[in-house]
Structure formats: C-alpha cells, structure tokens
Amino acid sequence: MINNTITSPKGFLASGISCGIKTSGKKDIALLCCPAGAVAAGVFTTNKIVSAAVEAAKAHLKSRIIEAVIVNSGNANTCTGKKGLEDASKMCQAVADFIDCRPEQVLVASTGIIGRKLPMDKILPGISAAAQELSNDPVGGFDFASAIMTTDTVEKQAVKRFKLGNKTVTISGTVKGAGMIAPNMATTICVLTTDANISKPMLKKALKESIGNSLNKLTVDGHQSTNDTAFLLSSCMAGNTPIKSAGRDYEKFSRGLFEICYDLAEQMALDAEGATRVFKVLITGAANQAQAQKAARAVADYDLVKCAIHGGDPNWGRIICAVGSCGVKINPEKLTCKLDNITVFRNGAPCKFDTKKASAVISKPFHTITVGLGVGKAEDFCLGCDLSKEYVTINADYHT
C-alpha cells in the first residue's frame, strides 16, 4: 500500500483513536511522533481570543527540537482560563512521559466547541491509548487525519515526492476545516511533515510563504477561528544537502510545500460546510497586491454572490457591488468581469452574453471569477464556496 499520509516522510509515527470527547464516538485524539526529533515551525490565528493550546504551542515552538504533536477534536479549550492552560500542559506532559522527552518538546492543538473545559479524565487515558497505537504505516496516518476532524465529512491529505540532488524528499500534510475559515497566517488545524534536511529558519520561512499563498487565500464564511494552527515538522532524514539559505534547493522545497498547501486548501473548499460549488476570485489590474487581495476576499465573502452561485445565477451585479464597496481603488470606466471565459461586464458596462452558458459555468463544481480593476498591474486571488441551506442547518445545530 502506497503511503500518502503524514507518516510517508521518513521518521514519523502517527495514530488516532476515540477517547469519548465526542458523543458520536468518532476519533478525537490524534498523536504524531518523530522519535529522532524534528525541527519545527508554526503559524497561528490572529484572533485576539485564542485557545490555551495556541498559547502553549507558541511557547513550545521555541524549543530547538520537537518530538511530538498532540491534537484533540471536539473541544476547543478556548475561554477556559487558567484551567485551560493547565490542561494543555497536562496533555503535553502525558505525551512526554510516554515517549520520554520534555513536555516543551510537544506541540498541542485543540479544535471543537468553545467554552467547555477539557474532559481530562477521558483525554489522559486517550493519550495513553494513542501512544500504544503509533505506527509509520498508512493506517496510522489516516487515523490521525480522521481524529482531527470536526464538521468535516472527509479526511484531507496530500503528499509530494521530489528530488533534491540525488535524494528523494517527501512532504505530506493533513488539514481539518469546513467552517470559520478566514485566516491570516494560519488555518484551522493543519499538520505538515517532511524529511528534507532543512534549518529551522528556512523551514519557518517556507511555511509562512506557503500558507500565505494557499490556505490563507481560502474563505468559507468570513470568520476566523480562535484555534487556527499550522505546524510543519522536519525529521531531516532524507539525506539531502542541508538547506540553510535561499537557493535552488530551497526554492524547490518551497514550491513543493506550496503545492501541498494549495492542494489541501482546495480540498477544504470542496468540503466546506454545506458547499456544493467552489470558485476562485482572481483580481487583476489592482493598484497593489494588498488591494487585489482585499477585493478578492470581498467578492468571495459576499453572501449575495455566494447565494447566487448556489442558485446557478450569473448575477454579475453582485460581484461588481462587492468590489465597489470594499474600499479599493478602481477605475469604473475600465472595470471588467468574466465568469471563466465569458465576459459579462466590460469597461464599466454590461455585455451581451448567453445567460444559459453563464449559468452552466457557475453551476460547475469549480469556476473562476475574474475582475479587472483597471488601475494598475497587481493581482491576487481568493478561494470561496457557495452558501447553501445546509450551511445554516449545520451551524444552527452544531453546539447542541
């Protein structure tokens, strides 16, 4: 069996089990270990309210070597005060005891319902059970991916193998997230592994760039979680010449990491809460990249656009409205809009187009909306999804 999970790079073991946090009985404890030690980097939510797990993980990332990642789903451990911090520390200590390392060499993440204290009477035995199930085969990696899920309907995984010199390097990742996805230098819960021999500073640089150009370009509902976390761990066991600075090997590694992250972002969009369609908003002709990104996100987040796409309605007026109201510089006389290759608005005026063909375009599982602002040369994009009745149903029932 080909291993396309987070245990595919050399040096990693993983597991996922159910300890009873979720009343459904589904897996809710995920454990990843690198027995030989890994260099690690992370990015997090910029929400001012954060999980105790985020606070603990930020502190532990200062360690030179990381040996494990412990994740629980079903409970966010957010707004839980001093007890929440104590419980996050206990989770790290429990893992450290089983794999014989220091607790600060363990990273922790939590996801789920906000405002409830962790059921430590279930989690601590769960960590023990997960430690005993650790393996480097596809089953362990798949179980890890399953155990970090909340409202997701499918596991999301990606892997890439390529050569650095004459050595094969592997990058793999898994992510959970189907709602509250509008991150800034982070995304829900994402765990990435690699065996590339790379220094911690360059690993951190690659992660920040890759997340920023992929997962950070995804919005489901315009809301950011309190728990957004992305980790990248490298066992450095591939045997390639160490990557210590920018250059050809770093660029190749960074490109591979970006492709993994972009793949995961598309999988998240396809599995967004209640989503039936995914779309890409490409903004061109902007004054600068920041304005291009602002306009792209404004369209992708605009509820009326999302509803129109769900209904297969090529309502370009809502797209133009979203761009015009978001505060970026535009030239109304040069403003254009296309749905895939169908131009529906050109130089500030509507075009004649086949409504049925346009409707067929936006009814596809994936299409691109291109808007030209007519003021510069900068461009950027954002991934979004339609807004369905199912989204309302899921989020109305989530807490109870």
Q: What is the crossing angle of helices 289-301 and 316-324, to 10°?
A: 130
Residue type, 99: I
User: Which distant-in-sequence residues (6+ apart) come within 8 Å of 199 by Cβ?
Assistant: 39, 242, 243, 244
330, 335, 339, 344 alpha-carbon torsion, rounded to 10°: 150
**Is 176 marked within a binding site?**
yes
Q: Which of 78, 187, 193, 194 is catalytic?
A: 187
Q: Active-site residue 187, yes or no?
A: yes
**Is 187 marked within a binding site?**
yes
- d(CA 123, CA 135) in angstroms, rounded, equals 20
Q: Which helix (H) or strand (E) holds 343?
A: strand 342-346
**Is 400 marked within a binding site?**
yes
Identify the CA nearest to 41 among candidates 170, 209, 153, 162: 209
DSSP line for 294-306: HHHHHHHH-HHHH
- d(CA 194, CA 12) in angstroms, rounded, equals 9
**Is 395 marked within a binding site?**
yes
Residue numbering of the annotated binding site:
150, 176, 187, 273, 395, 400
Which residues carry out catalysis?
187
Residue numbering of the annotated binding site for substrate:
150, 176, 187, 273, 395, 400
